[in-house]
Amino acid sequence: MAKDGDVKLIGAWPSPFVMRPRIALNLKGVEYEFLEEKFGAKSDLLLRSNPVHKKIPVLLHADRPVCESLVIVQYVDDAWPSSGPSILPSDPYDRATARFWAAYIDEKWFPSMTGIAKAQGEEAKKAALDQVAEGLSLLEDAFGKISKGKPFFGGDTVGFLDIALGCLLGWLRVTEKMNGVKLLDEAKVPGLAKWAERFCADDAVKGVMPETDKLAEFAKLIMAKFKAAPSPQ
């Protein structure tokens, strides 16, 4: 167990990527101080701690910064190996598989979901929604193979890939709400739909998963700011 004051996390509550280290720290039972960044501003501490990307989240462990959400999750697993369950699989192939799908989520699937809000016209929006649904079908198949019939991608407990995908469930619900669609449809992706319920009910998750309505209001603020921004010349 880390000593009080040893661990701080720079982040913001709406960020799905900040959720990742929060869940990892909760799984490990590590006490930490959450340093909330204001929307539209970057603190001096953030800029000093992450001078390369200048973005959240940043973990400060004994004043040493660790940046990038999935890198932080892996660091937490390594730094507190005897606290709580292992987050990454012990088998090298299983670890590689989990990292592969986590990269797919960040590089392909999540960008397709954010593309829905940016789509111009109904045809473009439908194409973006179809792309998200196609990705969920791939992840449904992956869940069946990786979980081997257990409750989570990580087996009996929340693991690396659960965190990578699960932190995006809040924004997936907002996307469904704002577009009047059901993407995580139990008829089409039954494994993922049931997994999502289990994930959100887990003790390490439920305290940091934002309420859908609150997140939707924040999304409206972001969209209003985006629309108000001057077009590049």
Q: Dig out the tokens for 1 from the structure.
A: 């167990």
Assess contact for 12 and 35: CB atoms under 8 A. no
Span 69-81, average pLDDT: 97
DSSP readout, 60-105? Answer: EETTEEEESHHHHHHHHHHHSTTSSS-SS-SSHHHHHHHHHHHHHI
Q: What is the pLDDT of residue 193?
A: 98
The answer to whether residue 179 scores a pLDDT higher than 70 is yes
Assess contact for 158 and 204: CB atoms under 8 A. yes
Which residues does 142 contact at the CB level (< 8 Å), separation at least 6?
101, 153
Q: What is the pLDDT of residue 5?
A: 60
Assess contact for 165 and 103: CB atoms under 8 A. no
φ and ψ of 65, to 5 deg = -85, 140
The answer to whether residue 232 scores a pLDDT higher than 50 is no
Give dist(CA 59, CA 120) in Å, integer.
Answer: 37
Give pTM, 2 decimals. Answer: 0.93
DSSP readout, 99-158? Answer: HHHHHHIIIIIHHHHHHHHH--SHHHHHHHHHHHHHHHHHHHHHHHHHHTTSSBTTBSS-
* Helix, strand or coil, per DSSP, at residue 8: strand
Q: What is the pLDDT of residue 39?
A: 85
Q: What is the pLDDT of residue 118?
A: 82
Q: Which domains does the chain have, with CATH numbers?
A: 7-79 (3.40.30.10), 92-218 (1.20.1050.10)
The 10s digit of each residue's pLDDT in 181-208 is: 999 999 999 999 999 999 999 999 999 9
Span 20-31, average pLDDT: 97
Q: What is the pLDDT of residue 223?
A: 76
The answer to whether residue 106 scores a pLDDT higher than 70 is yes
The 10s digit of each residue's pLDDT in 158-175 is: 999 999 999 999 999 999
Other CB atoms within 10 Å distance of the CB of residue 41: 7
Q: Output the average pLDDT for the chain.
A: 93
The 10s digit of each residue's pLDDT in 28-66 is: 999 999 999 998 899 999 999 999 999 999 999 999 999
Assess contact for 50 and 75: CB atoms under 8 A. no
Instruction: Pick the range with the lowest mean pLDDT from 6-20, 154-168, 190-204, 216-230.
Output: 216-230
